[in-house]
Amino acid sequence: MNNILSYLIQYADTLLEHHRDPYHGTPLFFDGCDSFTGNAVTWKNTDGTQWQLSNIASQQNMFRFFVGLSALTGDDKYERAAMDAIAWHFDHADSSGLICWGGHAFLDLKTLQAVGPENKNKVHELKHHCPYYELMYKTNAPATTKLIKAIWHTHVKDWDNLEMSRHGDYGLSFDSDTFWDKAKNTDLEPLREMKGLSFVNIGNDLTYSAGMLYKLDGDKKALNWAQFLMSQYVNSRHPETKLGCYQYNRPTKLGDAPTDESHPEFTFSFWGDRAQRQFGEEYGEVAKEAWVLFKMDEEALNGPEGIYGDCALAQTLLARQLGSDGQQLLDWTTQGMEAWAYYAYDAATNEIKPMFADGKDLTGHKIKRLGYYGKKDVEFMRRPLPPHVFLSYVTNWVVSGSKKLWPTLCAMAKHNKLGDWSGKIPQVNLSTDNSGTLMLFAVLEMYRAGGQSAYLSLAEKLGENIFERSANRGLFTPSEEHVYCRFDDVEPLALLSLVAAKQGQAALIPEYRSRGGYIHGDMQMPDGSTKNTMDVKTIYPTRVAVAK
């Protein structure tokens, strides 16, 4: 472990010395660099302008790593560097308290200007980020309180029916003293028709932020709103299976859909529920956007994994932090995960069955007509269980102790080459070639649960595999052939968590909460064409052949 810790220290020193603002002397970091040249990662705008990315939304795991490294080594320069960057953003917040944040609004570090792809209009966006509010609060408590209220204010468009949007405007004023005093409408209909799309990936972040505000400063009204918001998703689950839901509303129909399938707005939500339009003829009333539990596009960030992976993990971790005050949130989350494990998970193959929330397996069915969810004749396929869903199931079992989840997570562990965990003494696989970072977090959770040395031994083996795969050229990359080091990737935090666990100091390291941020919008490609994409899909996966 000493060699890993030494490498982590050297890596952190490299970021501090070479990857902060070289133009203006600010404490801001780049998002990543070319691991061969050290040059900053850039995004090419549609007009050909090269932006040097600095997006604080894509640096929260890096900050957690810095804080943990300071705690473990006693050298506070890493934590101070993270706090200085946060303080700069607070000092440059807009009038509402929002900071430049998200997939569509970020800084070009060369000019210090807020920029963003034109097609996304530089709006505020928050999706599965789970920011490091604890460090923000330590840096500037009043600014953090104002920030969380500003986030709710800009994303909740109508408090009476909880209409919301994943996109928010900057600079909207509000009364901070009376902010949470709005009346709650307790007669809201599940799956009601309203404007906007109440995607769980924004609802999750709103719930998390208000819950953390209660944790940080005891604002019980914030917690009440967090629970009220999450109850909208719970109340909209399928009444028989308790599966779902991805959103708690049906989109309002504003007109008749175009009849021409090539029309650019053919699949838009303006024309009512897109799942009902595409699948209602075959599947009836269960065909609702809220009750879709399949993902046809591998590139999409939505799907059931958003409910039972990203959201379930964040809500479980928040519930653990809140203790008895988080019990309702934990119960809701566990019940949903138990239902999905029962209906959707195939323990024999480690696959997810495609379905609506009635629980009927759609494997092998074909789409009958073009629509939002795919082209005609595309077949519904089972998909391998993603690593972050495994982590969410392990973490929830550790916190809830659900007997129903235990066989499920044991099956998942065996399929991931982690051994047989089903007995009182786990038979871990110490020859595994698994190098998944989230697998390491999951195994460390198991060690945390009971202190069984077998799990720590397995964690050490995973750590060795991860280090061998990702420690390249003094930085961290997904493999030796990957060009770019993304500073928010979680290998450093995971390896530091392992080192701390080996030293009996696991509590010093901040918890992993999410996979982090991204940039999203129109980018100019090398051939001059324009593509709507993400940095995590187009930039960071770049590889080159490396001479052995």
Average pLDDT, stretch 358-377?
Answer: 94
Rounded mean pLDDT of 482-501? 98
> Which tens digit of pLDDT belongs to each residue from 73-85?
999 999 999 999 9
Length of the chain: 548
| Cross-strand pairs, 192 | 249
The pLDDT confidence band at residue 195, using thresholds 50, 70 and 90, is confident
At a CB cut-off of 8 Å and minimum separation 6, what does 309 contact?
A: 386, 388, 389, 391, 392
d(CA 134, CA 337): 27
Q: What is the pLDDT of residues 336-348, one digit of tens each?
A: 999 999 999 999 9
- pLDDT computed for residue 548 by the predictor: 65
Indicate whether 39 belongs to any domain: no
**Number of domains composing the chain:** 1
Bond prior to 311 in cis (omega within 30° of 0): no
Are 294 and 377 contacting, i.e. CB atoms less than 8 angstroms apart? no
Q: Please, which pLDDT band fits residue 293 given cuts at 50, 70 and 90?
A: very high
Pairwise pLDDT comparison (128 vs 161), residue with the higher score: 161
| Per-residue model confidence as pLDDT tens digits over 386-436 | 999 999 999 999 999 999 999 999 999 999 999 999 998 999 999 999 999
Alpha-carbon distance 24 to 336, whole Å? 49
In a domain, 223, yes or no: yes
Read out DSSP for 411-473? Answer: HHHHHTT-EE--SSS-EE-TT-----HHHHHHHHHHHHHH--HHHHHHHHHHHHHHHHHHEET
The pair of structure tokens assigned to 284 is 């009836």
CATH number at residue 167: 1.50.10.20
Question: Is the distance from CB of 63 to CB of 135 less than 8 angstroms?
Answer: yes
pTM exceeds 0.85: yes
Please say if the pLDDT value at position 510 is more than 60. Answer: yes
pLDDT band at 214 (very low <50, low <70, confident <90, very high): very high
Banded pLDDT at 1 (limits 50, 70, 90): confident
**What's the rounded Cα separation, in Å, for the pair 258 and 370?**
12
Provide the pLDDT for residue 298. 65
Residue 318 has pLDDT above 60, yes or no: yes
Whole-angstrom distance, CA of residue 117 vs CA of residue 109: 16
Cβ atoms 155, 163 nearer than 8 A: no
pLDDT at 275 over 70: yes
According to the model, what pLDDT value does residue 302 have?
Answer: 63
Q: Which two tokens stand for residue 541?
A: 């996966």
Residue 85 in domain:
no
Does 403 fall in a domain?
A: yes
Share of the chain above pLDDT 70, in %: 99
**Residue 393 to residues 406, 430, 439, 512, Cα–Cα distance (Å):** 9, 22, 12, 15
Which has the higher per-residue pLDDT, 548 or 53? 53
Q: Give the per-residue pLDDT at 531.
A: 93
At 247, is the pLDDT very low, low, confident or very high (cuts 50, 70, 90)? very high
CA distance 446 to 456: 9
Examine the pLDDT at 491 and tell me if it is beyond 80: yes
What pLDDT does residue 300 have?
Answer: 57
Residue 505 lies in a domain: no
**pLDDT in the model for residue 215:** 98
- Is the model's pLDDT at 125 over the cut of 90? yes
Q: How many CB atoms lie within 10 A of CB 530?
A: 16
Torsion of CA 8, 12, 17, 18, to 10 degrees: 90
Rounded alpha-carbon distances, angstroms, from residue 321 to 32, 214, 311, 500? 31, 11, 15, 20
Distances in whole angstroms, Cα of residue 302 to Cα of each of 202, 218, 293, 307, 308: 11, 32, 10, 8, 11
Q: What is the number of other CB atoms lying within 10 angstroms of the CB of residue 117?
A: 23
- What is the Cα–Cα distance from 519 to 249, expressed in whole angstroms? 27
pLDDT of residue 301: 53
Q: Would you say residue 186 lies in a domain?
A: yes
Domain that holds residue 170: 126-252+296-366+384-410
> If you average pLDDT over residues 488-503, what whole number do you get?
98
pLDDT of 40 > 60? The answer is yes
SS3 176: coil
Cα–chain center distance at 425: 33
Q: Which residue has the tokens 């990359």?
A: 477
Mean of the per-residue pLDDT values for the chain? 95
Q: Match 């494990």 to its residue by tokens.
A: 341
* pLDDT score of 239: 96
Q: How confident is the model at residue 268 (pLDDT cuts 50, 70, 90)?
A: confident
Residue 95 clears pLDDT 90, i.e. is over it: yes
Residue 218, in any domain of the structure: yes
Give 259's pLDDT tier (boundaries 50, 70, 90): confident
**Residue 287: is its pLDDT beyond 70?**
yes
pLDDT at 154: 97
- The reply to whether 447 falls in a domain is no
- For residue 478 the two structure tokens come to 């997904």
Q: What angle do CA 180, 185, 190 make, to 5 degrees?
A: 125
